[in-house]
Amino acid sequence: MTAVEEKFSLTEVLSSFKACLEKENQDVLVDHYISGWNGLIRFMNSLGTIFSFVSKDAINKIQIMEAFRKSSSRDQYRSLQSMVAYELGANLVDLNRRAEHPNSGCRTILRLHRALRWLQLFLEKLRTSTEDSKTSVLCTDAYNDSLANYHPWIIRKAATVSFYALPARNTFFEVMNVGSIEDVVAMLGEAMPYVSQVYDITQQLYARHNLLDLP
Ligand code: 1PW
């Protein structure tokens, strides 16, 4: 990959989440969900190697979803809605403990969905932050209010330690590669509602099918 191809822009990531939602029926499209996540991972990797422990698990989960999209049942995995209907209908989800289907699409997306909530809270805090705000504090607060509730102590510890290595607010805005701080704030204000919408629709879908606690 050349340096140009590697260049990350948060705008592209957020437009993937915008493209995620099908206009007519509000289906969440898996391919766009995956490309949004691939962008987020590039973002995390550009924040430094210490973050690779955080991105490794997300990479793993995206690969599981990509494999479904390349399999013979790829059409069933077109949207989160069709995936839920297909996997539940064909008994492909372990509901009580991980057994025959340890890596179902439903449980894999649930992990990414919970992580998306963290991202949403974090970017929102960043958007409304002031010059003296510390990114590590914003990130830790967002984490404690979301994903941390699903993580055992040892992962919480490792995640919190890695947040200390986050670059300062100014550098952070530069890494996002959107433009000036004002440009980033404006872009986030425009784009975050799309991320929220994807999050809310997924949350409702999972709640409706009692899938929010999948092992
Ligand atoms: C600054 C940008 C932030 C973007 C955020 C998202 C990435 C979230 C990944 C956190 C991973 C921490 C280590 C892995 C934990 C897994 O055990 C856990 N995975 C997640 C995504 O929470 C649960 O997955 P598992 O073990 O049930 O397969």
User: If you take atom 15 of ligand 1, which residue's CA is the nearest one?
Assistant: 57
| Rounded Cα distance, 50 and 158, in Å | 10
User: If you take atom 1 of ligand 1, which residue's CA is the nearest one?
Assistant: 44
Q: SS3 for 215?
A: coil
Res 4 pLDDT > 50? no
User: If you take atom 16 of ligand 1, which residue's CA is the nearest one?
Assistant: 57
φ/ψ of residue 29, rounded to 5: -85, 125
Task: Give 162's contacts (C-beta < 8 A, 6+ positions apart).
Answer: 50, 51, 53, 54
Residue 3 lies in a domain: no
| Rounded Cα distance, 127 and 38, in Å | 22
Q: Which of 42, 44, 54 to mutate to test the pocket of ligand 1 (most atoms within 8 A of CB)?
A: 54
With contact defined as beta carbons under 8 Å apart, do 136 and 201 qualify? no
pLDDT of residue 3: 46
Residue 215 lies in a domain: no
User: If you take atom 21 of ligand 1, which residue's CA is the nearest one?
Assistant: 111
Q: Which domain holds residue 30?
A: 8-207
φ/ψ of residue 7, rounded to 5: -55, 130
Here the CATH number for the domain that contains residue 165 is 1.10.3520.10
Q: Total domain count for the chain?
A: 1
Taking only the tens place, the pLDDT of each residue in 31-86 is 999 999 998 888 878 777 767 778 899 999 999 999 999 999 999 999 999 999 99
Q: Which of 151, 153, 166 to mutate to test the pocket of ligand 1 (most atoms within 8 A of CB)?
A: 151
Residue 1 lies in a domain: no
